[in-house]
Amino acid sequence: MTQPLNVLFLSSEVFPFAKTGGLADVASALPQALKEIGNDVRLAIPRYGFVSERKFRIHEIIRLKDIDIPIGKKVAKLNVKSSFLIGERTKVQVYFIDSSEFFGRPGIYQDPKSKKDYADNDERFIFYSRGILEILKLLGWAPHIIHCNDWQTGLVPVYLKKIYSRDPFFKNIKTVFTIHNIAYQGNFPKETFQKTGLPADVFTPEGAEFYGKFSFIKAGIVYSDYVTAVSNTYAKEISESEEYGFGMEGVLKKRKKKFTGIVNGIDYSIWNPDTDQYIPFKYSVKTLDAKVENKKYLLKRFNMKFDPSAPLIGMVTRLVEQKGVDLVIDAFPEIMKMNVQLIILGTGEKQYHAKLEALAKKYPEKFALQLGYDDELSHLIEGASDIFLMPSKFEPCGLNQLYSLKYGTVPVVRKTGGLADTVKEVNAQKGTGTGFLFETYKPGEMVKALARAVSLFGDQKNWQKVMRNGMLEDFSWTYSAREYAELYTKILEK
């Protein structure tokens, strides 16, 4: 058993307030799960310009207004606003770090139109990290643990160790730093370091210097009390090879004794085909036959013909290199030769938008594309597709394959990171397993795995067995939340 703790959870995205990917889902569900097992968990996130104060009942905290946050030679003003993240079984207090200068914008990390990162992302997240530590004392709430996530929060552990821990209020606070994606590192020029107010020893190779740059993620890895990654295989991959570690493998190796993988869960109150508000025909393991009605509905929406013999392949993804978009584009002619239909929902790099748009024009009967971010459609694609394709080059955990399992949408994935840890290869004769995996990052290998899936689809009895196997798996947060709680307790005991 673990003792109840005060946990401050930090993330630059939290569903339903702000989301670009899986981090937002984790930062929403994990705090709730930790709260449900008895901890006092609170969230602190930036108050982006697009977050509706009316919809989410966000209000000011009068005594937390106009707080000075030093950034280099400037001083920026911070206001704290407050609301709740309301889940099915619990609600979590959320503090919004507000600054019209830094966060009053339409995007989270980039300008939605130009798709360019905001030039002052360094200052924005210095402001956020420092701001959090500045408000804690004013709030009069001391967390036992501050749980940081990804580079945007990487400075919190170093601020705490190098500046704030001199104050008894902060002295005993411990930090956990979770890596959701080591490809995004928050590396900035040396001038950024000068804006942090941190002592010079931090800008050294033993500290947060990374080949002449100042690295926010390295700061998180080096100065936190414990580091985690979102699956076991990913934890291994990023500490063992440069291909996966993006240069941080050595840094992680040094932290080996305080570094572990904890796999993500999913929130079944949001992702469940039996209750999903966004799919017109609800279904469960017992009412599997209803799933095909969603397929008909979705195909109609995209003006595609329904063919019971052709499996519908779905993809919902950020359109970036990580997700294996290149493989899909390279293999397109091969995929289109198969008796399949394909629907892709995604947004990301311009080059992929252009290539996929051209393909959508070329294959209107078999392929439909929706560019953009669309929460409702993402649920519908899970509910309607027969196969979910996720050929990632690397995948720290991946949530979409977990949603797919629950929706009886058989995943075809590359055997990497969290995909390797959560999808079990099908044995067509025995009807065991939950999906299809391929190892080598090559279009031909992906096509072979897809072909195995398409072939089993022809044998509906065994196909349905595989669907059921996936639907019966349990990836609820309960287990992983307990692992985090045990980790917190272990760190505090030391």
Interacting residue ranges for ligand ADP, rule: CB under 6 A? 21-23, 25, 316-318, 345-347, 373-375, 378, 397-400
Toward ligand GLC, which CB reaches closer, 32 or 264?
Answer: 264
Sheet of strand 436-438, all strands in order from the earlier edge strand to the far edge: 367-371, 341-348, 312-319, 387-390, 410-414, 436-438
* Contact status: 26 vs ligand GLC (CB under 6 A): yes
Half-sphere exposure of 392 (CA within 13 A, CB side): 26
Can you tell me which residue has the tokens 């005993």? 172
Stretch that binds ligand GLC, among 127-135, 167-175, 236-244, 393-401 (CB under 6 A): 393-401
Q: Which of ligand GLC, ligand ADP, none sits in contact with 230, Cβ below 5 to 8 A by type?
A: ligand GLC
CB of 345 to ligand ADP, least distance (A): 5
CB of 41 to ligand ADP, least distance (A): 21
Q: How many residues bind ligand GLC (CB under 6 A)?
A: 14
Interface with ligand GLC in residues 329-348 (CB under 6 A): none
Interface with ligand GLC in residues 61-90 (CB under 6 A): none
Half-sphere exposure of 10 (CA within 13 A, CB side): 29
DSSP state of 415: S
Half-sphere exposure of 389 (CA within 13 A, CB side): 31
Q: Which of ligand GLC, ligand ADP, none sits in contact with 318, Cβ below 5 to 8 A by type?
A: ligand ADP
Whether a cis peptide bond, with omega within 30° of 0, leads into 16 is yes
* Contact status: 122 vs ligand GLC (CB under 6 A): no
The 3-state DSSP class for residue 484 equals helix
Toward ligand ADP, which CB reaches closer, 398 or 433?
Answer: 398
Q: Which of ligand GLC, ligand ADP, none sits in contact with 374, Cβ below 5 to 8 A by type?
A: ligand ADP
Toward ligand ADP, which CB reaches closer, 99 or 416?
Answer: 416
Q: Which residues contact 204 (CB under 8 A, 6 or more apart)?
A: none
**Among 33, 41, 230, 487, interactor with ligand GLC by CB under 6 A:** 230
Give the other-Cβ count within 10 Å of 486's Cβ.
13
Can you tell me which residue has the tokens 């992680």? 252
CB of 494 to ligand ADP, least distance (A): 31
User: Binding mask 344-383 vs ligand GLC (x if CB under 6 A, - otherwise)?
Assistant: ----------------------------------------
CB of 143 to ligand ADP, least distance (A): 26
Identify which of 313, 308, 284 has the alpha carbon closest to the alpha carbon of residue 468. Answer: 284
Residues paired with 414 in a beta bridge: 438
* Contact status: 207 vs ligand GLC (CB under 6 A): no
- Give the DSSP letter string of 29-70: HHHHHHHHTT-EEEEEEE--TTS-TTTTT-EE-TTS-SEEEE
Per DSSP bridges, beta strands 187-188 and 174-179 are: unpaired
Comparing every residue's Cβ against ligand GLC, the nearest one is: 22
Can you tell me which residue has the tokens 């946050």? 69
Per-position b or e across 162-184, b if 16+ CB within 10 A of its CB: bbbeeeeebeebbbbbbbbbbbb
Encoded tokens for 84: 């709740």
Rounded-to-integer distance, Cα 70 and Cα 155, Å: 14
Toward ligand GLC, which CB reaches closer, 101 or 321?
Answer: 321
Interface with ligand GLC in residues 165-204 (CB under 6 A): 180-181
The 3-state DSSP class for residue 68 equals strand
Stretch that binds ligand GLC, among 116-124, 153-161, 215-223, 395-403 (CB under 6 A): 395-403
Q: Which of ligand ADP, ligand GLC, none sits in contact with 317, Cβ below 5 to 8 A by type?
A: ligand ADP
Assess contact for 284 and 494: CB atoms under 8 A: no
User: Binding mask 254-283 vs ligand GLC (x if CB under 6 A, - otherwise)?
Assistant: ----------x-------------------
Rounded-to-integer distance, Cα 106 and Cα 123, Å: 17
* Contact status: 245 vs ligand GLC (CB under 6 A): no
* Contact status: 22 vs ligand GLC (CB under 6 A): yes
Interface with ligand GLC in residues 411-440 (CB under 6 A): 418
Toward ligand ADP, which CB reaches closer, 307 or 321?
Answer: 321
Q: Which of ligand GLC, ligand ADP, none sits in contact with 400, Cβ below 5 to 8 A by type?
A: ligand ADP
Q: For 87-203, list the strands marked E by DSSP.
A: 91-98, 145-149, 174-179, 187-188
**Among 398, 411, 435, 470, interactor with ligand GLC by CB under 6 A:** 398
* Cα dihedral 241/245/249/252 (nearest 10): -130
CB of 23 to ligand GLC, least distance (A): 5
Q: Could you give the angle at which helices 375-384 and 291-301 cross, rounded to 10 degrees?
A: 130
Residues interacting with ligand GLC, by CB under 6 A? 21-23, 26, 180-181, 230, 264, 395-399, 418
